[in-house]
Structure 1
Amino acid sequence: MKTVVLALVLINLVCNNAFIQSDLTVQIDSGKIKGNITPINSNQSCFTFLGIPYAQPPVRNFRFYRPVQPTKWTGIRQATTTPKLCYHSIADSSTSTKSEDCLYLNIYVPANQSSNNPLPVLVWLHGDSPSSMNTELFNGQAFAVTGKLIVVTFDFRQGVLGYLTGTDTMGRSIITPNLGILDQVMALQWIQKNIANFGGNPRRVTLAGTSTGAFSIGLQFLNSTQQHGLYQRIALVSGSPLMPRMYYSNLNATNKSMQQFLKKSHCSVQTTAKSILSCLRNLPIANILSVQSSLTPSTYDNMFKAVIDGNIIQTDPVVALNNNQFNRQVQVMASVANPVSGSSSGIQRQQFITQLDWLFSYTNLVARSAIENRYTDWNNESSPVTNQQQLSYLYSDYIVTAPLVSTLKKFAAQGISSNPVSNNPVVWPKYNSNTGNYLKVALAPQVYSSPRANYVAFWNQFWPQLTKQPKWRLIIAQFYLQFSA
């Protein structure tokens, strides 16, 4: 009897939806798809449409090729199975859930929407990490129902498959640069063309992402000439377009990574672009992942990343921000979480030093010593827990907080005042570069100013000067450090 009652409730919810047919089918550009309905609680349910192709599978001759519009189909395509994910740019043991055939969207729609009220749309870009809220981990059902919006997640090529490129002897790119970003643009174009068929409002799209996903959003936002109208708001979560060591400044800078990859893959470097592509497209995927893993120890030491190519990414983000080169019609929100300290047992002092040496191996001794001094709690220098906490803050400040604050200062004129926590009477002031007001989201939200101001000043003001010191000053400083040690 309970089953019958539940079935009646679900049928009623389906019939109340003016966009989705009672048999859970939706007409999109490529053909008809059929989804599922999932009960969230006793009176709320969610339509789910999984594994919708927004491009043709990037395999065989489409490997290392720009995304191609999906093939149309006849009949009804089942959209009820979670698609496989794209391979990450760093080593990941869970390859059984991944595939090159991965350019798919998942759409989550509240079941009780009205035809007179198209819903806002949240598009989620995951970060480049097995644990960064990727499309497998980010299930938008509850979020869609409680937020009364449509949630869209999708995957895109990363690492070698998404960003390997280089130039030939004529300075021409062998592989189209920034394939991963081109995937993202095609997915956003698909959403604009089709989301109204699910009851979404294509003029109320928020593009949100975390970590490297936020970096990618910011990079595209500052180069939006080809993306006008694809979104109206962006939300940068623990990331920004100024994250360090995340992109190449020009195509020539990609040649070293291309040559190293070709050499390790046993593809000849001294040949034509056509021959190189043929070799790469015939490599087993296991070989590609193995070579990638050997060349990419971590996300923030990644050889295969975006490049300022003069096309999809036309301008360096630093230059674009300094020139106020961004779409002022797009609203910007940003957030950063407190860093996770890792192991509860902490790390020994020597591990702390080793991590600094690895992360800042490209800097001079004086610069590295300044970081060590700034992030050492001299009252607890030998405390493993304190060393772990300080290292976590160092990563967060250097990679996320300081670049994000610098970005927001440029966006300050676009700040808006609002009350994002509707059940709490906290007014979130408009952000400006003087006060740096921000809202701490907690059980009792509160407004503060200038997050981690002293550390942000270290990275945004002191660090650039420190790393540009004349060589003679560095020699004197190094002598002093060695003499006083």
Structure 2
Amino acid sequence: MRFAAPPTGQLRWQAPQPPASVGGIQNATTFPPECPQGYTGVSSVNPFEKRSLLRRDTDSEDCLFLNVHTPSNISSNASLPVVFWIHGGGYTAGNASLETAQDLVKESDYRVVAVSIQYRLGLFGFLAGQEVNDGGALNAGLLDQQFALQWVQDHIAAFGGDPQRVTIWGESAGAGSVLQHVVAHGGNTQPPLFRAAMMSSSFLPFQYDYNAPIPQKLYSDTVDAANCSKAPDTLECLRSTDIGLLSAANVAIAANNFYGTYAFVPVVDGSLIVERPTVTLNRGQVNGEALLAVTNAFEGNIFVNATFFANTSYSLADYVSQLFDGLNESQIQDTVDLYSNVPSLPDTLSQAEAVMGESIFICPTYYTLRAFGANSWKGEFAVPPATHGQDVYYYYESIYPSVRTFNNTDFLNAFSGAFLDFTVFLNESDKINGSNITPQWPTWDDDYTEMLFNQSTTNEPVVETIQTDEQLLKRCE
């Protein structure tokens, strides 16, 4: 269903607007077109150089749609909890058809309403710079998500959902989006748009002020790629630029970023995101009553190019200096020292993977857990290979059976069930399924207790409590 007007023409880089009123019955039986897709960085150096890649045929700027799935046996007076899914993809790729939200309804024993959304991506959703601030809207993709959350507040009751019991959930950039809404308006969005938050591998890349040098450089690169550099009003020129040219720029600029990083991501805009999220979290200011957060055992591995380290002259300092382009020599050495003496990281490649995974995925998760205090639960997904994104195969059981490495019913009920239990009860001590094998799950602030979800060497489920590694927490500090 359309939840906002097409963000085209003069609505490019503007806040989402209500859709036009259309009479009659509308078909809502197929998935919508995906938003224009971008790319992850593949360059060996930072910053970027220019390339040319083509727009996908399935892309459309007219992509602000959402999907609603309800239990088939829902009663006319139902008021069920709502799970609101935000897809991942580095803020540059993905769509609402990747994961079948009806699986969540089934896995909840038909006790929730599921909503999945689309939002503007790449430069269409996250182009920043002084010019965008002056003539448009920053963080347009986040504003799309917020607009969809408001749609749920206004309309979900008509589908049997309770607007007072909305839980937002996402993976990777979807979980990063959840984090952004947790800290939105300094952690005090009024009226509230959701009751609770769930984050799977929360993605928090470097979040600059909207007019800092890097966002400003990305704006200039976009203007150059669109042949708008000589226009008296470059933003207006971009609004009139052909979608094909912008899509090519979107992909090329992103691909030229340093390997495993993303060009167009949220910024501090001074309105929705008033400061760096870590600052808000450190004050304990959050939207939402409770948090469930899960990380994977090896978050950073797929974002580090192992071929860099095939050359023995490429050092951890080389990697750190490219990843953290703002550090001075002393800070680079401090980072190298921090990761060079960890027993579980025996070589330079594993150290680089830990630097990436901990700084951008794992540590931000712990910062958020700490902000929620006694109302937070932490899980660790460790089924091999336990790299970033592997957990999604277990949330959406109908579409990923062939790629799951561990198709154990008890494990699936325990792991995927944890998120639906939380949506319904807001407490991991209460279970929808009475045969759930998960033991008592304390809150994270109780001695830094986590729930491990793993597979034994004899292919049995391992679901047990563990304690967060104190050395990991020190590295996060």
Query: TM-score, length-normalised on structure 2?
Result: 0.73
Q: Cα offset for 1:377? A: 8.4
Say yes or no: does 1:429 pair with 2:442: yes
| Offset at residue 336 of structure 1 (A) | 0.5
Q: Which residue, 174, 193, 198 being the options, matches 2:159?
A: 198
User: In structure 2, which of residues 444, 451, 475 is the aligned counterpart of residue 439 of structure 1?
Assistant: 451
1:206 is displaced (CA, Å) by 0.6
Say whether the 8 Å CA contact 1:238–1:335 is kept in structure 2.
yes
- Does the aligned pair in 2 maintain the 1:357–1:368 contact within 8 Å? yes
Shift of 1:131: 10
Match of 2:246 among 285, 288, 302: 288
> What is the deviation of 1:372?
4.7
Report if aligned partners of 1:185, 1:227 keep a CA contact under 8 Å in 2.
no
Does 52-61 or 112-121 show the bigger shift? 112-121
Are 1:358 and 2:322 an aligned pair? yes
Aligned-pair CA distance for 1:305 = 2.6
Does residue 1:448 correspond to 2:408, yes or no?
A: no
Task: Map 1:32-71; keep pairs closer than 5 Å.
Answer: 52-71=1-20
Query: Runs of 5+ in structure 1 lacking a partner?
Result: 1-51, 461-485
Relative to structure 1, the CA distance from residue 367 to residue 186 in structure 2 (aligned partners, 3 Å threshold; closer, same or farther) is same
- Unpaired segments of 5 or more residues in structure 2? 41-52, 378-426, 455-460
CA distance 1:369–1:313, shift in 2 (3 Å)? closer
> Do structure 1's residue 333 and structure 2's residue 292 form an aligned pair?
yes
Aligned to 1:259: 220
Would you say the 8 A contact 1:209–1:217 is kept in 2?
Answer: yes
Relative to structure 1, is the Cα distance of residues 437 and 108 closer, same or farther in structure 2, using a 3 angstrom cutoff?
Answer: same
Amino acid at match of 2:236: S
Alignment CA distance shift 1:360-1:222 (3 Å) = closer
Q: Secondary structure at the match of 2:13?
A: coil
Superposition deviation, residue 307 in structure 1: 2.4
Question: Could you tell me how far 1:317 is from its partner in structure 2?
Answer: 1.9
Q: Structure 1 residues 459, 332: CA separation in 2 closer, same or farther (over 3 Å shift)?
A: closer
- Please report how far the alpha carbon of residue 376 of structure 1 lies from its aligned counterpart in structure 2 after TM superposition: 5.6
Distance between the aligned counterparts of 1:244 and 1:93, measured in 2? 26
Deviations 1:21-73 (A, max 9, x none): xxxxxxxxxxxxxxxxxxxxxxxxxxxxxxx1000111122222221101111
CA contact (8 A) 2:7 2:16 kept: yes
How big is each residue's C-alpha offset from its partner over 1:309-349, in whole Å with a ceiling of 9 and x where there is no partner? 2222223323322333224x521111111226559x96554
Q: Which residue of 2 aligns with 1:118?
A: 79
CA distance in 2, matches of 1:307, 1:290: 23
AA at the equivalent of 2:37: H
Q: Deviations over 1:159-183 (max 9, x none)?
A: 2111223225xx9623211111111
Deviation, 1:446, is: 0.8
For residues 457 and 62 of structure 1, what CA distance do their matches in structure 2 show?
45
1:208 aligns with 2:169: yes
What is the letter of the counterpart of residue 200 of structure 1?
G
Is the contact between residue 172 and residue 202 of structure 2 (CA under 8 Å) also seen in structure 1?
yes
Over 3 Å counting, the alpha-carbon distance change for 1:93 and 1:337 in structure 2 is farther
Specify which of 24, 29, 32 is matched with residue 80 of structure 1.
29
After superposition, the CA RMSD in angstroms is 3.3
Q: Return the alpha-carbon distance in structure 2 between the equivalents of residues 280 and 72 of structure 1.
A: 28
1:241-320 correspondence runs (5 A): 243-245=204-206, 247-251=207-211, 254-268=215-229, 271=232, 275-296=233-254, 297-298=256-257, 301-320=261-280
Report the secondary structure of 2:218's partner residue: helix
The amino acid of 1:404's aligned partner reads T
1:218-247 deviation digits (Å, cap 9, x = unpaired): 12222254453311011011116xx241x2
Runs (4 or more) in structure 1 with deviation over 6 Å come to 130-133, 377-381
Q: Residue 193 of structure 2 aligns with which residue? A: 230
Residue identity matched to 1:69:
P
Higher RCO (C-alpha 8 Å, min separation 6): 2
1:428 corresponds to which letter in structure 2? W
Residue of structure 2 equivalent to 1:23: none
1-structure distance, mates of 2:70, 2:344: 51
TM-score, structure 1 normalization: 0.72
- Aligned equivalents of 1:226 and 1:412: distance in 2? 19
Map of 2:411 onto structure 1: none
Higher Rg of the two aligned structures? 1
CA apart distance, 1:88: 3.3
Q: Is the 8 A contact 1:342 1:388 kept in 2?
A: no
Q: Supply the distance in 2 between the matched residues of 1:206 and 1:379 (Cα, whole angstroms).
A: 39
Measured in 1, the distance between the counterparts of 2:73 and 2:343 equals 58
After superposition, what is the alpha-carbon deviation per residue over 1:77-117, rounded to whole angstroms, capped at 9, x for unaligned?
Answer: 11111111112342687822221111000111221123354
Q: Which moved more, 1:80-89 or 1:297-306?
A: 297-306
CA distance in 2, matches of 1:336, 1:425: 17
In 1, Cα distance between equivalents of 2:298 and 2:343: 21
In 2, distance between residues paired with 1:227 and 1:125? 21
Q: SS of the residue aligned with 2:83?
A: strand
Distance 1:436 1:269 in 2: 56
Change (3 A) 1:130 1:412: closer
Q: Alpha-carbon deviations, 1:334-377, whole Å to 9, x = none? A: 1111226559x965543874654532344344544554555568
Change over 3 Å in CA distance of 1:380–1:76 after alignment to 2: closer
Give the structure 2 partner of residue 165 of structure 1. Answer: 128
Q: Does 1:154 align with 2:117?
A: yes
CA distance in 2, matches of 1:222, 1:130: 18
Report what 1:8 is aligned to. none
Deviation, 1:140, is 1.4
Could you give the per-residue CA deviations for residues 118-143 of structure 1, whole angstroms, max 9, x where no partner exists? 22111111123499874121111222
Distance 2:150 2:200 in 1: 22
Structure 1 residues 94 and 455, CA gap change in structure 2 (3 angstroms): farther
Judge conservation of contact 2:92–2:122 (CA < 8 Å) in 1: no
Count of residues paired in the alignment: 394
Structure 2 residue identity aligned to 1:72: S
Which stretch shows the higher mean deviation, 367-376 or 401-410?
A: 367-376
**Is the 8 Å Cα contact of residues 419 and 425 (structure 1) preserved in structure 2?**
no
The verdict on how the C-alpha distance between 1:71 and 1:190 changes in structure 2, with shifts beyond 3 A counting, is: same
Deviation digits for residues 285-305 of structure 1 (CA, Å, limit 9, x no counterpart): 222122233332359644433
Q: Distance in 1 between matches of 2:7 and 2:25?
A: 23
User: What is aligned with 1:239?
Assistant: 202
CA change 1:199–1:306 in 2 (3 A) is: same
